[in-house]
Amino acid sequence: MAVTDEAIEKLKDMIVSGRLRPGQRLPREADLAASLGLSRSSLREAVRALSVMRILDVRQGDGTYVSSLAPDSLLEVLSFIVEFHHDASVLELLEVRRILEPAASASAAVRINDKTLTELGEILDRTTPESGVDHLVSADIEFHRTIATAAGNSVLASLIESLSGPTQRARVWRGVTQEGALERTLAEHRAIYDAIRTHDPELARTWATVHVAGVEQWLRSTLE
């Protein structure tokens, strides 16, 4: 288990066991890290991940609190974390994405019009690694939806759209737990865009495969 995942697991256990309750402030970082046997950096990354999942609420100048969400809502998100580490169904969905996304990208490289190409570039231009995981995943969904539409096959676009939602949480989780994931995602988006812009279907297919396979490979290692 990765260090950050271990830290997340320990914080999750504290919430599930009731040692940390909804609305309760977490102990000082140094004290909490020591009590859990964690480094402060791994604890910090765990807090960041759980704040993205809305389990923790980081308040600047005040501290970090367990979300005041209703207990059943908290448990729903925590259950996702548990299931995510033991359920291979998301992996199967990503395998299908790895088949469909490259086909759509290759087709878009041939069929895309100037207006849609401009829209695709604008999606990239308004996203940076500092935008945050939630924003990046939303942009990722919009980016791939635009490519699928540009491919000119409504059935293919519909299939890709149907795979987007079920894999979204996995993509968020990768963004907050894997070092460099945000930067790598943006670089791969740019490479796919450049291949489509130059109307190179095989290069677009290759980069789309690399892009989806990266998430799939990370998930495989996580499930192991």
Q: Do the beta carbons of residue 174 and residue 215 sit within 8 Å?
A: yes
Tokens of 106: 């290759």
Exposed, middle or buried, 193 (CB in 10 Å: 0-12/13-18/19+)?
A: buried
Answer yes or no: pTM beyond 0.75.
no
Residues 119 and 211 in one domain: yes
SS3 64: strand
Residues 154 and 194 in one domain: yes
Residues 114 and 219 in one domain: yes
Residues 163 and 147 in one domain: yes
Model pLDDT for residues 211-224, shown as the tens digit of each residue: 999 888 887 776 66
Residue finishing a domain among 84, 116, 151: 84
pLDDT band (50, 70, 90) for residue 1 = very low
Model pLDDT for residues 13-24, shown as the tens digit of each residue: 787 777 888 888
Residues 111 and 201 in one domain: yes
Residues 14 and 121 in one domain: no
Residues 116 and 218 in one domain: yes
Tokens of 132: 């945050």
Phi (first) and psi of residue 128, to 5 degrees? -135, 165
Compute the average pLDDT of residues 168-196: 83
For the domain that residue 186 is a member of, what is the CATH number?
1.20.120.530
Q: Which of 13-17, 38-42, 103-107, 127-131 has the highest mean pLDDT?
A: 103-107
Residues 215 and 137 in one domain: yes
